[in-house]
């Protein structure tokens, strides 16, 4: 493959296409100018030839030498043109730097296009890969940062666990110390309570004994009061003094009891405080300070832990968001890559399907550039066909010439057939007139013979009807009476001699009449055949007229496109002019220019236009394409519009409906304004 490419490059380097193009670039202008000059000279030669044909024999001898010299100069110019074209072709083809043996550059250009597309695809993929690599590195950096945060979080969590374990140990120690302290306090309180209870019991026992003593004293006093009842007045003051002393003693005892209880509670409180001071002195003041510091450190660690947890949560959230965004970008990139690959595959498939685009374009330009030529351009079409290297161009030119020959032949046949029909019609008319004249003469002869032979020789017709052309008996009598008497007598005398002659003449007339009738039947048969042939020729002419109109549509476009120096698309264009012998419609008129031929041309054109238009399908496809581009609402509106405008009744109904709606709206507005 590399060797073939290098060989092709060397060959095309030797060809030096720019220099070859610069060498060939002045040739189109020269060819166009030569073609124009040749066309002008050929028209001038054709005009001189027509004038030469119109001249008399004496003047033809004088102008023959000039015409011959003009023909020789035209032949010399054509020979020079052919030699220059051949030299240019050989200079391009067989020169040392010619294109003979040059390989086809299309496969190499196709390979280069594929490589360029592959390079562009590779560059796009490389840029996408770099973008993905950059995003991957960003994700790696984010992952490393997240991993460092995770290690910090793990260390903080380990530290937090250690602090929690130490805190739990400290709390446990503190709880145990507090339990011991409170147990000691509780023991002290129980002991104090027991002591107080014992003292209270002793005091209560003492008070009970005092109460019993007081009660016994009261009973004694009561007994004394009963024994000394009579001495009430005298002894009332003394008894009051005794009861008041007893009450005073009881109050004193109660106050002492209360003081003792207060003192016991004060002592208990003091004892507890002393025990607490003793326990604090035992454990020292470091415990309280350490507990306070521990509590403060615990609060700080809790705050720091909350902050770290919030930071970790934010980092995890940002990491999740970044990961989701990166996944979304990856999915979008993958979708875009898939869509680009699908689009690339579609474009490649379309390119593969359209590989013959240039060939089809060249063929289309050739079809557009081809026109039917007249008799003056047959030589030019022949030269163009022989110099064309493409099989399609040669086949199209051959088809063009063949169709032209067929059209010319059919036109001549149609002209001959029409002239033959006119001659046959004239002959038939003359034969019919001659036949009528002979029939009348024959009838007159028979009537004369009947009148000469007398009434006894007349025979009635077999059908019982008289011939409308035969004279009546009275007329025969009048005709007989119109002859002189001598003539009648001489005729009667010469009847025996004239009758064979008349009979033989009658036989000859009958034979001639039979021959004429046979010829008339033959002429009628010929007329029937000519009519069928004329109908066939009309159908053929209509088909040829359709072909001419169809090809002339391309010819008009090719004539406008052939004004450029190199033609469209760089392809060789062959233009065959038909302007000299075509009318405004582009069709070939017949050779005779009378009104009958013009009417026949108009009839062919009318028949052609009445038939199916070859572009009706194209218009239908364009209309369908335009309808498919509309949205459903516009299509519905278009359908309703066509339905309304397509029928007279629908239009009337739509107008009535519109008027009714307007009247109803105006009536409602009037009612609303009145109210």
- Report the half-sphere exposure of 210 (CA within 13 A, side-chain side): 15
How many whole angstroms separate alpha carbon 454 and alpha carbon 491? 12
How many whole angstroms separate alpha carbon 272 and alpha carbon 257? 23
Give the pLDDT of residue 8: 73
What are the boundaries of each domain within the chain? Answer: 2-103, 106-227+235-314, 377-614, 627-674
Grouped pLDDT means (10 residues each) for the chain, 675 residues: 69 74 78 81 84 80 82 85 80 70 74 81 83 82 78 78 79 78 76 78 78 77 65 50 60 71 73 69 58 71 76 78 82 84 83 77 69 43 45 69 79 82 86 86 79 51 39 38 41 58 82 88 88 81 72 54 38 34 41 52 62 62 83 89 86 93 94 84
Give the pLDDT of residue 659: 95
Give the pLDDT of residue 467: 42
User: Do residues 264 and 189 touch, judged by C-beta distance below 8 A?
Assistant: no
Q: Which residues contact 418 (CB under 8 A, 6 or more apart)?
A: 534, 596
Give the distance between the most distant pair of CA atoms in the chain: 246
How many whole angstroms separate alpha carbon 372 and alpha carbon 550? 12
Q: Which residues contact 483 (CB under 8 A, 6 or more apart)?
A: 491
Residue that the structure tokens 């035992």 belong to: 282
- Hey, CA dihedral for 90, 95, 101, 105, is it positive or negative? negative
Burial class (CB in 10 A: 0-12, 13-18, 19+), 513: middle
272: tokens are 């507890």
How many whole angstroms separate alpha carbon 162 and alpha carbon 155? 10
């Amino acid at each position: 493959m590399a060797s073939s490419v290098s060989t092709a490059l060397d060959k095309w380097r030797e060809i030096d296409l720019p220099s070859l193009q610069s060498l060939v670039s002045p040739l189109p202008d020269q060819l166009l100018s030569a073609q124009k000059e040749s066309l002008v000279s050929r028209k001038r030669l054709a005009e001189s030839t027509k004038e030469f044909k119109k001249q008399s024999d004496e003047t033809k001898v004088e102008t023959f030498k000039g015409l011959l010299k003009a023909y020789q100069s035209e032949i010399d110019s054509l020979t020079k043109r052919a030699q220059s074209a051949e030299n240019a072709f050989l200079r391009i083809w067989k020169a040392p730097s010619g294109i003979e043996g040059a390989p086809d550059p299309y496969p190499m250009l196709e390979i280069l296009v594929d490589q360029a597309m592959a390079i562009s695809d590779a560059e796009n993929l490389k840029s996408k890969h770099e973008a993905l690599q950059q995003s991957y590195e960003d994700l790696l950096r984010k992952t490393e940062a997240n991993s460092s945060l995770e290690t910090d979080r793990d260390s903080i969590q380990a530290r937090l666990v250690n602090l929690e374990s130490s805190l739990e140990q400290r709390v446990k120690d503190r709880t145990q110390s507090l339990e011991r302290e409170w147990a000691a306090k509780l023991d002290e309180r129980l002991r104090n309570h027991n002591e107080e209870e014992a003292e209270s019991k002793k005091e209560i026992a003492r008070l009970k004994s005092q109460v019993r003593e007081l009660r016994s004293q009261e009973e004694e006093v009561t007994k004394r009061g009963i024994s000394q009842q009579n001495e009430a007045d005298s002894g009332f003051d003394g008894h009051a003094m005794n009861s008041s002393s007893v009450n005073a003693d009881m109050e004193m005892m109660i106050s002492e009891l209360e003081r003792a209880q207060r003192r016991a509670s004060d002592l208990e409180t003091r004892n507890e405080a002393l025990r607490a001071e003793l326990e604090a002195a035992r454990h020292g003041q470091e415990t309280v300070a350490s507990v306070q510091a521990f509590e403060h450190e615990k609060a700080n660690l809790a705050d720091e832990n909350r902050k770290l947890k919030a930071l970790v949560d934010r980092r995890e959230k940002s990491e999740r968001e970044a990961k989701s965004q990166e996944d979304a970008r990856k999915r979008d990139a993958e979708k875009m890559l898939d869509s680009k690959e699908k689009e690339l595959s579609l474009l490649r498939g379309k390119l593969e399907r359209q590989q013959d685009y240039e060939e089809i374009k060249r063929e289309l330009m050739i079809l557009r550039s081809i026109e039917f030529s007249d008799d003056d351009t047959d030589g030019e079409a022949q030269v163009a066909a022989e110099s064309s290297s493409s099989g399609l161009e040669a086949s199209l030119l051959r088809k063009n010439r063949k169709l032209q020959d067929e059209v010319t032949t059919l036109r001549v046949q149609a002209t001959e057939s029409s002239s033959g029909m006119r001659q046959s019609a004239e002959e038939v008319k003359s034969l019919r007139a001659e036949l009528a004249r002979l029939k009348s003469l024959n009838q007159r002869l028979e009537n004369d013979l009947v009148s000469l032979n007398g009434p006894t020789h007349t025979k009635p017709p077999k059908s019982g009807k008289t011939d409308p052309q035969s004279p009546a008996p009275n007329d025969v009598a009048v005709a007989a009476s119109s002859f002189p008497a001598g003539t009648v007598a001489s005729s009667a005398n010469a009847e025996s001699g004239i009758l064979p002659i008349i009979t033989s003449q009658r036989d000859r007339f009958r034979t001639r009449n039979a021959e004429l009738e046979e010829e008339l039947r033959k002429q009628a048969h010929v007329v029937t055949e000519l009519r069928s042939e004329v109908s066939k020729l009309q159908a053929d002419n209509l088909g040829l007229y359709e072909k001419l109109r169809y090809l002339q549509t391309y010819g008009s476009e090719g004539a406008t496109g052939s004004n450029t120096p190199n033609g469209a698309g760089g392809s060789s264009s062959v233009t065959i002019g038909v302007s000299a012998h075509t009318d405004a419609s582009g069709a070939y008129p017949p050779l005779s220019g009378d009104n009958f031929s013009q009417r026949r041309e108009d009839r062919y054109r009318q028949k052609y236009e009445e038939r199916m238009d070859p572009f009706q399908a194209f218009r239908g496809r364009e209309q369908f394409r335009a309808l498919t581009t509309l949205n459903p609402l516009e299509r519905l509106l278009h359908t309703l519009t066509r339905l309304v405008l397509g029928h007279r009744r629908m239009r009337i109904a739509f107008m009535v409906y519109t008027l009714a709606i307007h009247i109803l709206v105006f009536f409602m507005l009037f009612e609303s304004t009145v109210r």
